[in-house]
Structures are given as structure tokens and as C-alpha cells.
Amino acid sequence: MEFARKDQRAAQAAWAKAEQTLGGARQALIEALVGMIRTGGTGSFNMISDKDRIFFAGLMLSASPVATVEELEAEAEKVREMRRRLQAPKCNDCEGAPDLTGDFHMESWAGDEREVRALKYMILSTLQELSGAVHRALEKEVTDAPVNETFYRTLFTLGEDFAEEDLLQIAYGLDDLRAQVAVYGSEADADSRN
């Protein structure tokens, strides 16, 4: 009986460690995505770019319940590489130059008020939920620059110090984004049938 308990505790400890590693890889991917947008800007064009493909693939994978640590780490590296490509060749150390590092760490949310932190997580989870439809549309070569920009701007805000009222306005706008993504997805489905 004692051996069974030790085995059970060891199995629980191993599972907890694996979940922590998976959570860390998921968090690193989200941080890389926010960093990429903070570095590369929130603009989009009426053509599909590598930035669009990498962003939506990464955002979708960050929410996947079946994603492995290896997949999350590989995707985070793709995002970091895209960020390096997007980084403007400006003088980062010059006085008055904008901060192009775009670094972001989710630990910064720990200092936020509970309501602010909850809104940020709600906004993030909604973006993750909607990203799958956009990613599928991009795979069918269909894009909608204003919708993409809304994703970029919204994710960008999660790395900033916004007040609860500002985040509430963003959260209210997610219903509009949801409707736009539904149209975007249906256009992609219609285009693929033609």
C-alpha cells in the first residue's frame, strides 16, 4: 500500500511538472506574439504576409489543448524570427529613439488589479478562440486587412498598461470582431468552393 502511494505521488509530481513545462511554453509563445506586434506594428495590407501567417498560426496554437511543448517552442521560435525580420533598422540606443525591443512578459500582469488582469485574460482567450477561423481563411488565400489589424491592435494592448475602463471598451468591441471574423470565414469558405 505504501509503495502504491509513493508511485501515485511520483506520478502526480511528474504530471504537475509536465503541465508546468507546457504552460511555460504556451506563455512563451504568447509573449513572443505580443513582442512581435509591439516591434513590428499593427498594420496589415490587402495581401497575405508572412507576418499574418505566423501571427495567426501562433495565436491559434497557443490555445490548442493538444499542442505539445515541442510544437509551442518551435512556433515561438518562428515568431521570434519574424520579429527579428520586422525590427526596424533604426538606432535603438539613440536618445529619443523608440523602444523597438517589444519585450513583454506575462508576469507583468501580476501587478495589475484583479479586474484588469481578468479583462486581459478574457481578451486574450477571445482572440485565441477567433484566430482559428482567420488562420483557416489565410490558408485559403483569403485576407481581411482591417480584421487582421484589429487582432494586432488588440493583442498589442495586452502588453500595455491600460486602465480597466479602456480594457472594457476593447472587450465590448470583441463582439464586433466576432461578427467580422464570421463574415471573413464565410468569405473564405465561399472562395474555396468557387
- Look at residue 97 in the predicted model and tell me its pLDDT: 43
d(CA 52, CA 116): 28
pLDDT of residue 193: 59
Confidence label for 2 from pLDDT (cuts 50, 70 and 90): low
Residue 82 included in any domain = yes
| Other CB atoms within 10 Å distance of the CB of residue 71 | 14
Q: Domain count of the chain?
A: 1
The answer to the question of residue 77 being in a domain is: yes
Q: Kindly state whether residue 88 falls inside one of the protein's structural domains.
A: yes
Give the C-alpha separation, 151 to 48, whole Å: 15
Is 2 a member of any domain? no
Predicted local confidence at residue 179, as pLDDT? 94
The residue among 64, 186, 184, 173 whose CA lies nearest residue 125 is 64
**Phi–psi pair at 95, nearest 5 degrees:** -65, 130
User: What is the maximal distance between C-alpha atoms in the chain?
Assistant: 68
The DSSP 8-state label assigned to residue 98 in this structure reads: -
Which range of residues forms the domain containing residue 36?
Answer: 7-193
Please state which of the ranges 79-93, 101-115, 170-184 shows the lowest mean pLDDT. Answer: 79-93
Which span out of 83-87, 111-115, 184-188 was modeled with the highest average pLDDT? 111-115
pLDDT at 143 over 60: yes
Q: Where does the pLDDT of residue 38 fall: very low under 50, low under 70, confident under 90, or very high at 90 and above?
A: confident
